[in-house]
Structure 1
Amino acid sequence: MEDLSTARLLDTDRDGGLERYMLHGRRQIAQLLQALIDEHCLIAAHSGGGQSFVTALIRLDDDTVLLDVSPDPAANRRALMADRLLCITQLQRIRIQFSLHGLAEVSEDGRPALRAPLPEQLLRLQRRESYRLQVPLKHEVGVSLKAHDAAREPVQMDSRVIDISAGGIATVVPPGVAAFVIGDKLEDCRLRLPDTDPLALTLEVRNITPQPQRNGTELLRLGLQFVDLPGNAEARIQRYIFNTERERNAREKGGI
């Protein structure tokens, strides 16, 4: 599959898309990257194919950024060979994402480092503004919920995830199978994303909405928030969201 640039990956769509969260000004981007340096923020750097390593920015020049290398030489080789290095981090609970292209290995004060041109754009996404992706039917994204029935007996059910964000998921379940209450925490649930092992997580019930069906029956739409989501699980969820957006945007433009 063609590895599209971040610009195509995050194209604005008719539903609002992510364009409103993008920074394009070189000065703004440089200021935000400098803040990542000042706050010693760790960065998850993804080189494609499910490969990633933890790194940090070292310093900025006028037109370039220096990145710490991985202690794993193989990870550095993959980063240098990749079309882009997707960098994901947080600054004061705000998600920051940008792509670096044209990486080269250099020496910084006698130590190896990675150098790349300053990114042309950067995503700044506050958690409360987390972009929600409508999950394509063909992806068969699902969740196993562990809840209780009206008698407080344990119940486990599998349901399809209909949308997903960095903050949570929405799913639809039949009424009466479990007694869901807003504020309940559902522990030891399992989220199933394509091409990856299930993610163990805790979900908090945030909203419950009846969904009448054309055949006269009714389903319940559950809004579920991630609770204390581990960083590696959050990175895998974000990677799925952006890869799916990339595929959709490329398809709309006739790229695939």
Structure 2
Amino acid sequence: MTKRWLVTGCSSGLGRALAARLASEGERVVATARRPETLDWLVARHPDTVVAAALDVRDPAQCAAAVGRAVDAFGGVDVLVNNAAYGQFGTFEEVSDAELAAQFDTNVFGPWRLTRAVLPVWRKQRSGHAVFVSSVAGTVPFPGLAAYTASKFAVEGAAESLATEAAHLGVKVTILQPGGFATGYSTNLAMPERRIPDYTPVSDGMLGALRGMNASMEVNSPELFADVVWRLGQLESPPLRLPVGPDSEAFLEAAYDARRSEYDQVVKAGQHTRA
């Protein structure tokens, strides 16, 4: 049974690959981008099942219009994929208020406002699946990505809250945690206006790794991501969290082990003190 998808950030990278995969499977897709003309090729190939819509997730009116377009075209939305995002580079001290606000406006407030616009449709349908594309950085902090990491921690908290609030309405929630993928992430990485030399020993290595990501044979392909998300959409009981890519699994396992070890040590120390 085909589903109705609303996907953000489809002009390139993960969103582009996902929209193409969904269309090839015969799914009905509202593919969005800030410049919808970048999706003309996909609409031309699938004119009966793909609709392109302009969407900047920072714009509440465009969020509402995109949902309306999905309802007009297909009668509703079954799966929303909050994919649009970008990375702000810079250590904690380097990132300005304006840069931090811009990071959160796209990566956190954008998915929140778009999902909020879809929820009335899902309440009426008594069904829906919200997919939030987070990152391994939503669990594992990386030097030089303080703002991006904070935004992904925040969006995961919002998604988990939604899962507890809307499950009785038939709404499912999944947080995707991709590892490294060959996308335009590093090309579109925003750099802070202020750089502080004291932090370069811990941040420059990360910056070099990010900029070399597209050329690396070790990163995952967007097509792998698209396959995972399409299959996720077919599940009756999708997971709340889903690592995407072998590197993500390795990072997350190490992080969970470290947290558990630290927790055990703190709890045991506390019990010893109380005794």
TM-score under structure 2 length normalisation = 0.25
Higher RCO (C-alpha under 8 Å, 6+ residues apart): 2
Instruction: Return the structure number with greater helix share.
Output: 2
